[in-house]
Every structure is written in C-alpha cells, then in structure tokens.
Amino acid sequence: MLGLFTKSLERQKLDVALPGGGEMKIAKVYPLDASFDTPEDVPAELREDKRYKDLSGYTLAEAAEAFKKDYGEQGLDILVHSLANGPEVKKPLLETSRKGYLAAVSASAYSNVSLIQRFGPLMRPGGAAVSLTYMASERVIPGYGGGMSSAKAALESDTRVLAFEAGRKFGIRVNVISAGPLPSRAAKAIGTIELMVNYYQKNSALPEVNTAGDVGNTAAFLCSALGAGITGTTVYVDKGYHSMGMEPGALDAAKQA
C-alpha cells in the first residue's frame, strides 16, 4: 500500500484538489504496519521480505516517535484509522481458524487501540480520532467472514471505551463511521462487493449508491469544530439502510401474491 500510494502521488494520479481551489499538500508519508506495536513484534522472516527489507521505523511505536520528532508534543489534531485486514475473510465463521480470527481482530480492531495509545499523547486537546466500521458488527452479512464481523463489533465497543478513557486523559474525541459498502480496491477482496452495493441501493431509505465523498464529508464533520459535542458514537453513512426493517418492495409483492 505504501508503494501504491507514493507512486500514485508521484504520478499525480491522486485527487488532491481542495474545495474552492488549490491542492492539498502532503508534507510527509510515514511507513506504518499497524499489526506491529514495536520492532520486537516483527517476525524475522518478515523483516527480510522484499516489501519490508528496505524500510525501517514502520511499527506503531516508531511511527509515533518519528512524528513526535518532526512535529513535537501536541502536534496532531486529527487521527484517522482507515484500515482492516482479515486473511480468511472469505471463509464462514464456522470454518475460520484461530490464527485467522485473531489476525482479523488484531489488524482491524486492536490497531485502533494501539494507535490511540501512542498518538493520543501527541494530540492537542479538542482533537478527534475516527475509524471505519461496517454493519456486519450487528447483523449477519453472509460472505463477510473470517472473524471480520467480530473485529468490527470490537472496534465499535472499543470506540465507546476509548472515548471515555482518551477523552479524560488527552481531551480528545473518538468516534466511528459505519459506512455502507463501497466498491473500493480493498472491498473487492471480499469477492461480493458489487452484489452488496446493488442490494443496498435497492433497499436503502435513499435508493442511491454510497460514495467515498459521503463518508469523507462525515469524517470531516466529526473531526471539525462542528462535531465538538460528539464522541463515543457510531455514525451511519449508508443512505439510511440501517433504519430499514423490510425490503421496500416486499409488502407490495406479498399483496400481489
């Protein structure tokens, strides 16, 4: 992902345009693998992997220390946790191994805890942290397996606890966005993302396709002064799908039958 991002940035393939004109300037990109808290956690074989051997300082503790050296104490306003990984996501929960389950929870949920542990002390009071969840945390989504539903449930529960603990300790807010399905590069790993997008479009309160812009606008709101009174909350950005208790056409179909 680091290579994809930096190459896309160099080739000007990323949309960095700002509303009203101008472009977002990216001062620095830090390598980060949120599965590892410290250098000692990185397996020896991974250090020699071609994706890692030319990199250093990519654990959470090292990334936080590098940021602190560059920007000092309380140099951070916004922290966005936008990552997840379930190596067995295509397997039903009944067929998921312990290793696959724990890997999903580690990368997708605990990483947010660890991120706030290390970057929370570097945030200014009034700062905000936000992460991304999915409705599989509370409803059954066939095909979304490998422990990912459990990881998302943990992420939402942790958000409430972190809102209290980090709020009292660092003076920051912690929220999570429950987004409807988006046909992103990462989501395509599930294998059924187009089917999910089409289903949501047909059965949401607003029969529209969710967009990255919808999610981004909500994240910007939550991290701005406009959301200053909101913390410990799961905010749904799914065109109202979460509020529906029946398919819109189900009643008419039943009457016709």
Q: Catalytic site residues?
A: 134, 144
Contact (CB, 8 A) for 205 and 242: no
Radius of gyration of the chain (CA): 20
Rounded Cα gap, residues 130 and 230, in angstroms: 11
Q: H/E/C letters for each residue in the chain? A: CHHHHHHHHHCCCCCCECCCCCECCCCCCCCCCCCCCCHHHCCHHHHCCCCCCCCCCCCHHHHHHHHHHHHCCCCEEEEEECCCCCCCCCCCHHHCCHHHHHHHHHHHHHHHHHHHHHHHHHEEEEEEEEEEECHHHCCCCCCCCCCHHHHHHHHHHHHHHHHHHHHHHHCCEEEEEEECCCCCCCHHHHCCHHHHHHHHHHHCCCCCCCCHHHHHHHHHHHHCHHHCCCCCCEEEECCCHHHCCCCCCHHHHHHHC
